Amino acid sequence: MAQVTKRHPASNTYARALLEIAQEAEAGDAFADQLSAFAAALGSDRQMRVFFESPKIPCEEKKKVLKTCLTGKVSPPVLNLLQILLDKGRQGLFSEVAEVFGELLDEARGRLQVSIASAKPLSDGARDNLVALLKERTGGEIIASETVDADLLGGMTVRIGDTVIDGSLRTKLKHVGEAMSAPRLGRNLLG
């Protein structure tokens, strides 16, 4: 199962501040797209990442490059946020802030990101039934992403935010093994 990484608390603060501005300007999707595009470019271009994260390059030079490259391509609030992150020495949070912003925007709109991992690909009918059930239970719009994880052996796991529903055969077998190896006391010792 995928490991959940702990996020820097400041990522949430910056993303929430930008979300307030985005909601006032009715520009949430545009801001999310711009942040995601910048984060993707940063993730795929090693030189760009090294440039922004290098402590040897002065902050003002980084801001100048950022402004030159992004003016007219991203909205002023997004550019301002990126510059603030540079000012605060938090350029390592660029991608994390983009991710948190997307999640907060989804939450504000009643959309839930759901990760489904199954031992083998789900049929269209099974996926549709699962999404319909999750929608009924949560009351939100479900945006599902699906991965195949052969290590599950059978069944599936479903992650909605911090909640994990684990119906995998691997976990069930682990629980059976733990129960069988647990020391028995009293009446259970003989039975």
The DSSP bridge pattern shows strands 141-148 and 111-118 to be parallel
Question: pLDDT at position 171, please?
Answer: 65
112 pairs with which residues across the strands? 142
Query: Do residues 87 and 174 both lie within one domain?
Result: no
Per-residue pLDDT reduced to its tens digit, 88-119: 999 999 999 999 999 889 888 888 888 888 88
For residue 91, being part of any structural domain is answered with yes
Query: Do residues 98 and 121 both lie within one domain?
Result: no
191 residues of the chain, pLDDT tens digit each: 344 457 788 999 999 999 999 988 888 899 999 999 999 999 999 999 999 999 999 999 999 999 999 999 999 999 999 999 999 999 999 999 999 999 889 888 888 888 888 888 888 998 898 888 888 888 888 888 888 887 777 778 888 766 777 766 666 667 666 666 766 655 555 55
Question: pLDDT at position 4, please?
Answer: 45
User: Hey, what amino acid is at 86?
Assistant: L
Query: Do residues 49 and 138 both lie within one domain?
Result: no
Question: pLDDT at position 145, please?
Answer: 83
* CA pair distance 30, 111, nearest whole angstrom: 17
Query: Do residues 46 and 79 both lie within one domain?
Result: yes
Domain residues for 85? 9-106
Global model pTM greater than 0.85: no
For residue 96, being part of any structural domain is answered with yes
Residue 1's SS3 state is coil
